[in-house]
Amino acid sequence: MSGFSPDWLDLREPADHRARDRGLEARLASCLSDRDAVRVVDLGCGLGSNLRGLYRALPRRQSWRLVDHDPALLAGARARLAGWADVVVADAPDGLRLEKEGRLLDVAFAPADLASDLDAALGEAPDLVTAAALFDLCGEAFIVRFARAVAARRALFHTVLTYDGRETWEPSHPLDDAFRAAFVSHQGEDKGFGVAAGPAATRRLASAFAGEGYATHLGASPWRLAAPGDAALIRALAEGQASAVAETGRLTPAEVEAWRTARLAATAATIGHADLFCRP
């Protein structure tokens, strides 16, 4: 699986946290309300944004296992979490113990390739498996295998910010529809987990978990971006999409550049994502 730059992950974190579906988080919190402690595995953790976005919905004592294939991102997650915490209670080679807003978090960092080391990444007995902005990069066979592995552990599952293919840019541009189709085509290429499900990923996840006897609950988590506050993220998004679409060859270089130039000056954008909560 190809990596993501720390700059991009840092830039998107505020938009990610604003977008999360709070109704699904409330369902998750309700399922764990009678517990004092919870064991969490966060897959494709990047710089630890999902932990920072979710910890308030979880019990007072939390044990997190942050999994990523990129050791540099794991090191970045460790540094950012230490700076984010109210108190670093312990900093040891095997992880951190943090205090944040009255919660005690034990955080371990695990390098793993999910495509080949899924069982090792999940461990034996998590209460909750979570991920952010991951499954649109995964193929259907991996999604089915993943749902089966989580169900075998009878864990809760919560994923957020899976791209759903819907986009609205302001002002509109004549190439918007063609550009979106080309971008979805690029996203559907193999990212290391088989032919990627792209915008269909959340529906396929829900179906796979339903097949394992889970109740599934869907939510929406669109980015709602507006300049000037989100101007840097809008520009980075436009640059990234233009580069991806150029690789497909479905638009001419002149068309790609015309769209890119217009989008660098966009005043607003809504980028669709979906969240999903599944429980045995």
- 32-63 burial string, b = 16+ CB within 10 Å, else e? beeeeebbbbbbbbbbbbbbbbbbebbbeebb
Domain-located, residue 215 = yes
Domain-located, residue 31 = yes
Domain-located, residue 56 = yes
Over residues 60-88, mean pLDDT: 97
Domain-located, residue 190 = no
Domain-located, residue 182 = no
Is-contact 155 43, C-beta < 8 A? no
pLDDT of residue 195: 84
pLDDT of residue 3: 57
pLDDT in tens, 130-177: 999 999 999 999 999 999 999 999 999 999 999 999 999 999 999 999
Domain-located, residue 229 = no
Over residues 185-211, mean pLDDT: 90
Domain-located, residue 181 = no
Place of tokens 């793993």: 112
Cα-based distances in Å from 236 to 48, 64, 161, 179, 264: 20, 30, 17, 16, 8
Over residues 238-247, mean pLDDT: 95
Phi and psi, residue 94, nearest 5°: -90, 0
Range of the domain at 159: 6-165+195-224+273-279
Average pLDDT of the residues of the chain: 95
CATH of the domain at 161: 3.40.50.150
Banded model confidence at residue 1, pLDDT cuts 50, 70, 90: very low
Element (H, E) at 187: helix 176-187
Specify the number of domains making up the chain: 1
Residue 269 has pLDDT above 70, yes or no: yes
User: What is the Cα–Cα distance from 93 to 116, expressed in whole angstroms?
Assistant: 25
pLDDT in tens, 115-136: 888 999 999 899 999 999 999 9
**What is the Cβ-side half-sphere exposure of residue 60, based on CA atoms within 13 angstroms?**
4
| Identity at 197, one-letter amino acid code | A
**β-strands 37-43, 61-68: how paired?**
parallel
Alpha helices per DSSP H over 98-165: 114-122, 140-152
Over residues 65-72, mean pLDDT: 96
Banded model confidence at residue 192, pLDDT cuts 50, 70, 90: confident
User: What is the Cα–Cα distance from 30 to 269, expressed in whole angstroms?
Assistant: 33
Domain-located, residue 232 = no
pLDDT in tens, 203-234: 999 999 999 999 999 999 999 999 999 999 99
**β-strands 61-68, 103-111: how paired?**
parallel
Q: For the whole prediction, is pTM greater than 0.85?
A: yes
pLDDT of residue 2: 43
